[in-house]
Amino acid sequence: MVDSIKHNVRQMLAPAAQEAKASTARNNDAAVKMSPNVSGGTDEISVSMKASVSSLAEKPPVDIEVVNKIKQAISDGKYPINLDLVSERLMESYLEMQG
């Protein structure tokens, strides 16, 4: 059952993961173009840092589209949830907190 959950999540996340890889590659290319050379100064590093920060600020830290797909699957009853595993992990966490 756990394997089927992992498989379903991977299927839902696959497009998002591919986009994230492409976005990372684009960001890395931009950082390489802006990276300082040996003779460069701290101004070039600052520009590179600003470019990195602004590229991170363009998108939210969570892929809302994937979150909405998972929410929809749960509300439709199509998202498999292993209640035994959930309760087991909750109990393990509780026991760990108790000491």
Q: Both tokens of residue 31?
A: 């950082």
More confident residue, 47 or 11: 47
d(CA 48, CA 55) in angstroms, rounded, equals 11
pLDDT score of 29: 54
Q: What is the band of 78 on the pLDDT scale with cuts at 50, 70, 90?
A: very high
Q: Residue ranges per domain, the chain?
A: 2-98
Q: Are 68 and 13 in contact (CB under 8 A)?
A: no
pLDDT in tens, 14-69: 555 556 555 555 555 544 554 444 455 677 888 888 888 888 888 778 889 999 99
Which pLDDT does position 48 carry in this prediction?
Answer: 84
